[in-house]
């Protein structure tokens, strides 16, 4: 998908986002028309900066864990010893994708209680799938001649994995991580229904008090974060692909 | 393929079987089978299999579980593994209901008995075994839908016979039976209706994007950005414009357009659905072999004929894949509609979270997961059937 922003628009969005999060007060006149009965236009039950950082931290932790587990799993089922798990892991991943995030979130609450933990679990499980799928695709579609050459050069299985397979797969795996991060950024907001500290708090506060300005600022910050992350990771992916001599998809 | 390997080293262990047997052993002997609570909100007390069931039935279940674990652990023929998993799952399903009535004191309507971690782990372990067998059997698409239908019938029969009535989730259902079906209907209508609208708008838009290259990047970019807006925010943001339409456009309120409720949820789901439909239509049309198009042109087909008779049929499986993504995603997202008064199974999920009544959460979550799962299996089967038919046609 070619969803690239022009460099200038990207920079402007980034500056706007940082300024908004750092001093939202400046934007009050813009948001004021959306409120009724003199309700506050800027979220006042906590700092937007703290919530944004907590939001990003939650997504980061979940994605890191998901990446480690998904890539390890993909490596395992593409080795001869784990090959018999391959078809099963494929169908499990397919089944996993049908679980709605709200359901995962709600079902995790009795096991781990309210707060950040159920959100982390839901994001982790939901983030696994795109990364695993991409890692699997990458590792099973490596060019046969390269693998032959690596074997011919006398590399051990471990050397082949670390020096040939993983670097060659990196761009595609990164693509999976990018998808996973963008989904997680939006899904993390639902975590606030079980009391996780994320930007969802702003949106939910707006829904409860019928304050459209809150809903808008919460939603737009998350959307801007997602667009910028998507863009940034796409750039890294293209860089990795160029280094590996593969065209980015 | 793997089935053939199984017969070679018969006394060896099955790798997946080791995992299944380990979960089976832990869940059967060390984890609680059911939870007993004096009322629906207090913390529960754990009951093991032998405590939760009459002695004979408890021992019978343990025997079935041990036998199932051994069958999974060793390299056994597929048919035996299939039988073991089905028997174990059926025994679990039947006996958890009996545990419910066994643990509930006579005449006590406040007490709640719910399946506990051990039960869920056992179901997981034997579902894993069943999924492995079904994957290895390499079923045809029609057979997979058949398996789904048999499973649905079995669950339906258990529900209908009342053998699960003593379990907490069905007690929650019993006090909300009417609401359950009307919310369920709303949920399905939301998910399917927004999908239908997205197909009606998205497929022509995809065709347009395919034909007019300048339009393509712009449209896909906008749709991509819509996807990044969190669902709860998009639901909320649509309240204002729809409320405005309802009060200012004559007749709008009469057809059900309102600021809160189903209308913003419907529009939000529709907007989320557009990207997969449009993107897959574009990809599908781009994948039509040039030779097919050239041949059609050479035969003197008009643009319209070419689109309907050549391009669409060839792109159909890819478009269907987009529809599958949308349907599964919509069934999940429709739960969030409850936050803005849009109804659906999410009503029970969020009520349950609010009251910390997990059985109520399950009452909303289980049907949602089941719907999404069934939709995925059925559409996967249809996709596979349409793409294999095409392949055999062209040979």
- A225, A228, A230, A231: CA torsion to nearest 10: 180
Residue of A1, A94, A194 lying closest to B353 (CB–CB): A194
Mean pLDDT value of segment A129-135:
88
Alpha-carbon distance B319 to nearest alpha carbon in chain A (angstroms): 16
Searching chain A, which residue's CA lies closest to the CA of residue B240?
A: A212
DSSP state of B260: S
8 Å CB contact between B308 and B229: no
Residue B150 lies in a domain: no
Domain ranges of chain A: 7-34+41-243
Shared-domain flag, residues B197 and B245? yes
- Look at B376 and A218 and tell me if their CB atoms are within 8 Å: no
Searching chain B, which residue's CA lies closest to the CA of residue A229?
A: B228
Taking the Cβ of residue A187 and every Cβ of chain B, the question of whether any pair is shorter than 8 Å is answered with yes
Mutation target vs B (from A6, A100, A113; most B CBs, 10 A cutoff)? A100
Condensed to tens digits (0 to 9), the pLDDT of residues A177-229 reads: 988 898 889 889 988 888 888 998 898 888 888 788 888 888 889 988 988 88
**Beta bridge mates, B45:** B36
Radius of gyration (C-alpha) of chain B in whole angstroms? 26
Shared-domain flag, residues B108 and B190? no
Residue B349: both structure tokens together: 């999920």
Alpha-carbon distance B54 to nearest alpha carbon in chain A (angstroms): 28
Residue of A2, A189, A219 lying closest to B217 (CB–CB): A2
pLDDT given at position B1: 43
The sign of the torsion formed by the CA atoms of B381, B384, B388, B391 equals: positive
8 Å CB contact between B308 and B323: no
Cα–Cα distance for residue pair B92/B81, rounded to 1 Å:
16
Q: Which residues of A touch B228 (CB under 8 A)?
A: 182, 185-186, 222-223, 226-227, 230
For B281-378, where are the E strands, in sequence order? none
Shared-domain flag, residues B265 and B337? yes
For chain B, where are the E strands, in sequence order? 34-37, 45-47, 112-115
Shared-domain flag, residues B181 and B131? no
Shared-domain flag, residues B199 and B310? yes
Taking the Cβ of residue A67 and every Cβ of chain B, the question of whether any pair is shorter than 8 Å is answered with no
Searching chain B, which residue's CA lies closest to the CA of residue A225?
A: B228
DSSP state of B31: S
Residue B160 lies in a domain: no
Residue B384 lies in a domain: yes
Q: Is the confidence at residue A125, as pLDDT, over 60? A: yes
pLDDT given at position A213: 84
8 Å CB contact between B334 and B348: no
Cα–Cα distance for residue pair A29/B324, rounded to 1 Å:
44
pLDDT given at position B151: 92
Condensed to tens digits (0 to 9), the pLDDT of residues A30-77 reads: 777 777 777 777 888 888 899 999 999 999 999 999 999 999 999 998
In this predicted complex, what is the ipTM?
A: 0.77
Alpha-carbon distance A203 to nearest alpha carbon in chain B (angstroms): 6
pLDDT given at position B2: 44
- Give the ranges where B212-311 is alpha helix by DSSP (H): 213-228, 231-248, 262-286, 290-298, 303-305
Residue B129: both structure tokens together: 């075994």
Q: Which residues of B touch A182 (CB under 8 A)?
A: 227-228
Q: Which residues of B touch A195 (CB under 8 A)?
A: none
Residue B316 lies in a domain: yes
- Look at A219 and B230 and tell me if their CB atoms are within 8 Å: yes
For tokens 């229904």, the residue is: A193
pLDDT given at position B257: 64
Q: Count structural domains, chain B.
A: 2
Cα–Cα distance for residue pair B247/B357, rounded to 1 Å:
38
Residue of B224, B235, B368 lying closest to A3 (CB–CB): B224
Residue B323 lies in a domain: yes
Searching chain A, which residue's CA lies closest to the CA of residue B133?
A: A88
The parent domain of residue B121 ranges over 2-138
**Beta bridge mates, B47:** B34
pLDDT given at position B277: 93
- B208, B210, B213, B217: CA torsion to nearest 10: 90
Mutation target vs B (from A9, A103, A226, A231; most B CBs, 10 A cutoff)? A103
Shared-domain flag, residues B125 and B193? no
Shared-domain flag, residues B16 and B116? yes
pLDDT given at position B294: 86
- Point out the residues of chain B with pLDDT beneath 70: 1-11, 252-260, 389-395
Cα–Cα distance for residue pair A59/A44, rounded to 1 Å:
24
Shared-domain flag, residues B196 and B290? yes
pTM above 0.80, yes or no: yes
Searching chain A, which residue's CA lies closest to the CA of residue B361?
A: A106
Condensed to tens digits (0 to 9), the pLDDT of residues B8-44 reads: 444 578 888 888 999 999 999 988 999 888 887 777 8
For chain A, where are the E strands, in sequence order? none
From the options 3.40.50.720, 3.30.300.30, 1.10.3720.10, 3.20.20.70, give the CATH code of A7-34+41-243: 1.10.3720.10
Mean per-residue pLDDT over chain A, rounded: 84
Taking the Cβ of residue A93 and every Cβ of chain B, the question of whether any pair is shorter than 8 Å is answered with no
Condensed to tens digits (0 to 9), the pLDDT of residues B95-129 reads: 998 888 888 887 777 888 888 889 989 999 999 89
Cα–Cα distance for residue pair B258/B260, rounded to 1 Å:
6
* CB burial of residue A217 (10 Å; 0-12, 13-18, 19+): buried
Q: Is the confidence at residue A1, as pLDDT, over 50? A: no
Alpha-carbon distance B166 to nearest alpha carbon in chain A (angstroms): 21
Residue B26: both structure tokens together: 């832990």
- Look at B232 and A189 and tell me if their CB atoms are within 8 Å: yes
Residue of A98, A102, A199 lying closest to B336 (CB–CB): A102
pLDDT given at position A5: 55
């Amino acid at each position: 998908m070619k969803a690239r922003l022009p460099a200038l628009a990207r920079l402007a969005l980034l500056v706007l986002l940082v300024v908004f999060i750092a001093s939202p007060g400046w934007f009050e006149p813009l948001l004021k028309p959306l409120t009724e009965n003199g309700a506050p236009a800027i979220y006042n039950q906590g700092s937007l900066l703290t919530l944004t950082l907590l939001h990003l931290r939650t997504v980061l932790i979940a994605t890191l864990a998901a990446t480690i587990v998904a890539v390890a799993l993909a490596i395992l089922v593409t080795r001869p010893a784990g090959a018999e798990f391959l078809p099963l892991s494929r169908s499990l991943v397919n089944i996993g994708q049908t679980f709605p995030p709200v359901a995962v979130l709600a079902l995790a609450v009795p096991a781990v209680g309210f707060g950040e933990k159920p959100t982390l679990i839901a994001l982790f499980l939901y983030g696994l799938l795109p990364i695993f799928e991409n890692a699997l695709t990458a590792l099973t579609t490596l060019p046969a001649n390269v693998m032959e050459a690596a074997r011919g050069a006398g590399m051990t299985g471990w050397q082949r994995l670390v020096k040939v397979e993983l670097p060659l797969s990196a761009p595609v795996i990164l693509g999976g991580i990018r998808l996973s991060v963008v989904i997680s950024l939006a899904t993390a907001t639902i975590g606030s229904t079980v009391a996780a500290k994320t930007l969802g708090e702003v949106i939910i506060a707006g829904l409860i008090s019928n304050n459209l300005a809150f809903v808008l600022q919460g939603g737009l910050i998350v959307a801007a974060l997602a667009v910028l992350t998507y863009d940034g990771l796409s750039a890294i992916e293209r860089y990795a692909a160029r280094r590996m001599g593969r065209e980015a998809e | 393929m793997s089935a053939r390997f199984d017969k070679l080293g018969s006394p060896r262990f099955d790798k997946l079987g080791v995992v299944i047997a380990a979960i089976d052993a832990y869940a059967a002997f060390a984890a609680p089978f059911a939870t007993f609570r004096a009322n629906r909100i207090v913390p529960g007390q754990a009951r093991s299999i032998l405590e939760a069931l009459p002695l004979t039935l408890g021992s019978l279940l343990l025997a079935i579980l041990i036998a199932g674990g051994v069958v999974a652990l060793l390299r056994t023929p597929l048919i035996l593994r299939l039988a073991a998993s089905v028997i174990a799952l059926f025994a679990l399903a039947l006996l958890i209901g009996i545990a419910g009535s066994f643990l509930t004191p006579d005449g006590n309507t406040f007490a709640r008995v719910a399946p506990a971690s051990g039960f869920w782990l056992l179901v997981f372990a034997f579902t894993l075994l069943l999924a492995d067998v079904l994957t290895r059997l390499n079923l045809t698409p029609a057979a997979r839908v058949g398996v789904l239908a048999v499973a649905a019938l079995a669950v339906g029969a258990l529900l209908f016979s009342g053998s699960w009535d003593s379990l907490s989730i069905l007690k929650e259902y019993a006090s909300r039976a009417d609401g359950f079906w009307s919310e369920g209907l709303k949920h399905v209508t939301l998910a399917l209706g927004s999908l239908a609208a997205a197909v009606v708008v998205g497929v022509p838009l995809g065709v347009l994007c395919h034909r007019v290259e300048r339009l393509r990047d712009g449209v896909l970019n906008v749709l991509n950005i819509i996807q990044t807006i969190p669902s709860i925010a998009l639901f909320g943001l649509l309240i204002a414009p729809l409320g405005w339409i309802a009060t200012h456009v004559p007749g709008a309120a009469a057809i059900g357009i309102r600021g809160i409720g189903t209308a913003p949820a419907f529009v939000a789901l529709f907007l989320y659905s557009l990207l997969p439909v449009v993107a897959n239509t574009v990809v599908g049309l781009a994948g039509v072999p040039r030779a097919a198009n050239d041949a059609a042109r050479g035969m003197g087909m008009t643009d319209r004929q070419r689109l309907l008779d050549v391009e669409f049929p060839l792109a159909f499986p890819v478009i269907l894949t987009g529809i599958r993504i949308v349907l599964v995603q919509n069934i999940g997202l429709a739960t969030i509609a409850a936050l803005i008064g849009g109804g659906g199974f999410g009503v029970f999920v969020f009520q349950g979270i609010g009251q910390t009544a997990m059985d109520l959460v399950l009452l909303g979550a289980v049907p949602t997961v089941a719907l999404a799962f069934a939709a995925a299996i059925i559409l996967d089967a249809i996709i596979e059937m349409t793409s294999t038919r095409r392949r055999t046609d062209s040979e």
